[in-house]
Amino acid sequence: MKKLLWLCILVIPFKIMAISASSYIVMDMDSGRVLEGSNIDKQSLIASTTKILTAITAIEYGNIEDVVKINQDVLKAYGSGIYVQIGEELTLDDLLYGLMLRSGNDAALAIASHVGGSKENFVFMMNEKAQMIGMKNSIFVNPSGLEENDGSANKATVYDMALLTRYAMQNEHYRRIVSTKDIVVKSSMKTYKWFNKNKLLSSYQYCTGGKTGFTKKARRTLVTTASKDNMNLVVVTFNDGNDFNDHKNLFEKYFNNYESVKVIDKNTQYGENVKVIDDYYLVLDKNEKYEINVVLDEMDNALNGSIVGKVEVILDGEVIGYRNLYYEKKSVTENKSFISKLIEFIKFW
C-alpha cells in the first residue's frame, strides 16, 4: 500500500518582456523548469553555440592533459579561430579554452580529430551525447557550428540548448572554462592571450558563463548563465540583434521578482529511517503555489540504502521534479550515545 501526503503552500502570471529574438527561453537550471519563452521547440540554426556540446563531449570522453599535435585537418577551418599551425602542440585543455573563449573553428576540428579519431566519429559521439541529455529536436553535422558545403548545418531548439547547458554546467571543468574572462596559453610555438567573447562576463556581475555564436544564416545566437541568491538561470536566444541586453534584462527580471525556494529539505523525515539525500530548490514568483506529493512504498523488506518511494514537486498540475526517498536504517553503533561510545573506547584500551 502506498501512502500519499499532500502539502500546499498561488499563480500570478508575470508580464512577458519584449524580446528581439525569433525564439528564446529562460530556464531554472536547478529544477529544469521553463520560466518563460517563445517558440521554444522551433528548430533553428545555432552557429557556434554548438561548441557547448563539442566542449562537454571532449571533456567527458577525452583527457584534458593530453598533448595534441595539430594536423592537416586545421586547414579546413575558416571563420573565427585561434590560428594554430600544423605541427604545433598544445594540450586538449588549452584547445578547449580556445574553443569556448575565442570560438576557434580550428580548435573545434583539432579537438574532434584528437578525441574522436576523426571529425565524423566525433560528430557521432556528439549526437549520442545530445540524445542522452534529452535533446530530441537537435541534429549535429560538425563540431564548429558552421554551415557545410552541402548546405547541411547544426540545428536545435532553444529548449534543447537550455537542457544542454544545464547538463554541461554540472561539470566543474566546463564551468571553470566558460567563466574565464581571459587566459594566457603557451603552445610549443607561441604564447596566446585570449579574451572571452561573452561580454556579459565582464559587464554583468552575476554572469557565470555561456557561448556566443554568429553566421550570416543563423544570425546572432547566444547562451548565457547567471547566478544570484541561490538562483541559477540559463537564457538562450536565437536570431537576436540585441542579445546581450535581452539576456541581462531577463536575468534581472527574475532575480528581482522571483526567489529560490527550498521545496524539499533533505533533513525532513518522511517516515522511520526514510529521507531524501539532496535538497530541491525551485525558482518561484513570491505568490506561486506548489504542492508536494509523497509516495511511500511498503518497506517490510527494504534494504538499507534502497529507494522506497519519491517526493514529487507539482506546479500548475504537473510534476516538474522529484527526489527519491531512501531507506537508511541506523546501525546499533550509530544509535549509541556519546557516553556509551566513550565507555566502550576506554574499556578497549
Active site residues: 48, 51, 103
HSE (CB half, 13 Å, CA atoms) of 167? 20
Cα 60 to Cα 297: distance, rounded to the nearest angstrom: 36
Cα 212 to Cα 223: distance, rounded to the nearest angstrom: 6
Nearest to 206 by CA among 176, 224, 227, 234: 227
Pairing of strands 23-28, 231-238: antiparallel
Q: Which amino acid is at 4?
A: L
Secondary structure (3-state) at 257: helix
CB of 292 closer than 8 Å to CB of 264: yes
Cα 20 to Cα 49: distance, rounded to the nearest angstrom: 18
Cα 155 to Cα 137: distance, rounded to the nearest angstrom: 8
3-state per-residue secondary structure call for 201-246: HHHCCCEEEEEEEEECCCEEEEEEEEEECCEEEEEEEECCCCHHHH
Neighbours of 86 (CB within 10 A): 11
HSE (CB half, 13 Å, CA atoms) of 166? 24
Cα 193 to Cα 182: distance, rounded to the nearest angstrom: 7
Neighbours of 336 (CB within 10 A): 14
C-alpha cell recorded at residue 253: 527580471
